[in-house]
Amino acid sequence: MDTTQSVLFIALATAILSVVLGFAALLSQKIYIDPKTEKPTEIKIPIVGKMKTNYPSLVFVMLGFALIFFIVQQLLSGQPDRWLISGQFFIDETRLDMGWSDTNINVHPCDMDATINHDTGVFTISVGIKKGVSFEDRIEVIGYSDSYGSAAIIPKEEFRKRKNNQDNLIKILTDKTREYKPVKLVKMPGGE
């Protein structure tokens, strides 16, 4: 069990305790008197109506149930699927060793680990994606740009082309991996 799950189970135990203690306090039926009006505290609850009750107990019960609902939803969604994406950027056959930089590779959205081999331009991306969601649905663009030029891969477009048996950049496609064919950088005007 990882740290996240441990924290969720501890929070779940706390939420259950909150509900149990809140119900116990409600069953004791201690009614609080408002010091200003000297009448029992009255609260209005949507759908249920007005109640003269121990409102701190109700707060414990409601917050406990809300927390339980949230935690169970998190636990049932499980850990995200780990995807591994790879490919290569290149300039041309005569300039393979150009000093590629990790800071120049970008993935949108960018909450993942992306690295590029500084000698060969081979990139790898490791990303956790919610179960049932594909890489192409999650990632919009994989790109590289520097002073020489730039290149981009649009995963959804390449996947669509592959499904339609059109020329595409996908070299290997499995359930949790994609390997793209080498992509040549387009030289920028004035690029080195």
Can you tell me which residue has the tokens 């995963």? 155
Q: How confident is the model at residue 160 (pLDDT cuts 50, 70, 90)?
A: very high
Looking at residue 45, its pLDDT comes to 67
pTM passes above 0.75: no
Between 173 and 25, the more confident residue is: 173
5: left (phi over 0), alpha (psi -120 to 50) or beta: alpha
Which one is predicted more confidently, 126 or 30? Answer: 126
- Cα–Cα dist 40/33, whole Å: 4
Instruction: Measure the CA–CA gap between 143 and 164, rounded to whole angstroms.
Output: 24
- Enumerate the domain spans of the chain: 3-77, 81-187
Q: What is the pLDDT of residue 9?
A: 81
Report the run of H or E that residue 57 belongs to, with start and end: helix 55-77
What is the tens place of the pLDDT at every residue in 16-75?
888 888 878 777 766 667 778 777 767 676 776 676 666 667 777 888 888 888 887 777
The Cα–Cα gap between 22 and 32 comes to: 15
Give the pLDDT confidence of 132-156 residue by residue, as tens digits: 888 899 889 999 988 888 999 999 9
